[in-house]
Structure 1
Amino acid sequence: MIPFALTFAAVFSLEIGLISVLTVMPQLGKLGKTISESFIQAPGLDVILSVIVWIPWVISGLLLGWVGVLAALVGQILALQLWIVAHELVHSEAVKGPRIVSYLNQRFGWWRNHLALWVTAVSVPVFFLIRLAEVALYPFLIWLLGFPTYKHSEWVNVSRQKFEGLVGHDLIWCLYCDWMTGVYSLGAEMLRNVESFWCPIRFYNDKKCENCRLDFPDIDGGWVAKDGTMGDVVQTIEDNMPSDRQWTWFGHPDRGNRE
């Protein structure tokens, strides 16, 4: 019980300290704003989220096993809830106005809305793994095959904290969506390159083609028809893989600028 309590206290203190610093930092003059801006986009955002979220899990788990992970989670959740209460007290006028959480609680019920939110939070480790692949694996494709580079800060960043009236509970969950949408979108962009590079063949299942064409526009804009031949596939790759530039999926905006 004592190791659990000590781990909980350490993680809780870390979370409260970091979140408090991040909250007040933009108000600490030009230097504070500069540092704050570096933490709301990659790679600074990756660092701060790692310290706040998964690093406490790993350290606590290595020291105490699953008991340590549980203690870290409890500390993180309580710190988050305390920050929400404090932030809403500071911005009491905004709390009295229209709010996402108030509307959804009224429409679906408090417990259903909040339970559903925490269900989505279970996917946080998945998004960290996607982010890890973007940072640690995709660069090998750039080096080995000339895949296009991306400025990660243009995708992985958060900015909804600047929206007027978005406070407390709504702010935290909107920032979560802000981050995971950017991570997903960058991953999807990279996956388009992978698909069109290694297997530009339409699926036999027409419904799957219809469902996937939004995220993979080359289904209709370059991939070989399902009744084509391997000769068609090789020719398509040759036609769409010029040797004088980086590889991109066929419909990539960069192609439109140069073709």
Structure 2
Amino acid sequence: MNGLVLSCLIVIGWETVLISLLMVMARLGYSGKTISEACTKAPTLDLVVSALIWFPWLIGGLVAGWWGFLGSLIGQIVVMQLWIFIDESRHRNAIQGPRIVSYLSQRFGWWRNHLGLWITSMALPVFFAIRLAQIFVYPFLIWLLGFPNYKHSDWINVSRQKFEGLVGHDLIWCWYCDWMTGVYALGAEMLRNVESFWCPIRFYYDKKCENCKLDFPDIEGGWVSASGTMEDVVQTLDENMPKDGGWSWFGHPKREGEKD
């Protein structure tokens, strides 16, 4: 139990200092604003998210094992609720008006709305794993096979803080959605290249094709029918293999010039 308390206090101190620096940064002139803006986009955002979320888990685990990990979670929740209280105190007019949390709590009940939010946070490790694969695994496909390179900051960024009236509780959870949606979207974009390269064959079940075509447009835009032959598959690959040796899924924007 001492390890739990110690880890909790360490995390509270660490995150309080870090969040305070992030809040003050934008007020430190041009340089401060530049750094603050960089913190809202990858790759700097990756460092900020790591420092706020999984790094404390690691420290807690090293300090006191599972008790330390639990202590780090408690510390993070304490700091989060404290930040929400401070931010909402600074924006009294906003919290007296229409709010997402107020509407959903009224519609579904306070405890169900909040419990649902915390349940979604259990997916954080999954999104961290996806993000790590984007950073450390996908680059090998760029190098080996000429897969398209992506500017991660166009996908991995947070901007909901710019929305007027979005503060406190609503803002912090919208940041979470902002970040994880970008991670998911970039992962899906990378996976489109993988799928159309190694297996451009429509699924046998039409319902699956219907369900997946939004994220994988090549299902309707070039993949071979499930009743086709391997000759059809190889021919499709050959027809869609760029002459410059680079690769991208069939409907990738960079192919527009090739079709003209």
Alignment of 1:135-214 (within 5 A): 135-214=135-214
The match for 1:254 is 254
1:124 maps to a residue whose letter is: L
Higher mean Cα deviation, 98-107 or 187-196?
A: 98-107
TM-score for both structures, normalised by structure 1: 0.98
The match for 2:70 is 70
2:161 maps to a residue whose letter is: Q
TM-score for both structures, normalised by structure 2: 0.97
After TM superposition, which residue ranges in structure 1, 4 or more long, deviate above 6 angstroms? none
C-alpha distance in structure 1 between counterparts of 2:55 and 2:138, whole Å: 23
Secondary structure, counterpart of 1:65 in structure 2: helix
**Count, aligned residues:** 259
The match for 1:237 is 237
1:113 maps to a residue whose letter is: N
Structure 1: gaps spanning 5 or more residues: none
Secondary structure, counterpart of 2:26 in structure 1: helix
Secondary structure, counterpart of 1:123 in structure 2: helix
The match for 2:10 is 10
C-alpha distance in structure 1 between counterparts of 2:3 and 2:233, whole Å: 60
Q: Using the TM superposition, give the Cα deviation of residue 23 of structure 1 relative to its aligned residue in structure 2, in angstroms.
A: 2.0
2:162 maps to a residue whose letter is: K
Q: Deviations over 1:149-176 (max 9, x none)?
A: 0000000000010111110000000010
Alignment of 1:29-48 (within 5 A): 29-48=29-48
Contact 2:3 2:63 in 1 (8 A): no
Identity, % of aligned positions = 66
Contact 2:4 2:69 in 1 (8 A): no
C-alpha distance in structure 1 between counterparts of 2:14 and 2:52, whole Å: 8
Contact 2:8 2:75 in 1 (8 A): yes
Higher mean Cα deviation, 245-254 or 188-197?
A: 245-254
C-alpha distance in structure 2 between counterparts of 1:60 and 1:173, whole Å: 24
Secondary structure, counterpart of 1:27 in structure 2: coil
2:34 maps to a residue whose letter is: T
Taking only aligned residues, the RMSD between alpha carbons, in angstroms, comes to 0.9
Q: Are 2:126 and 1:114 equivalent residues in the alignment?
A: no
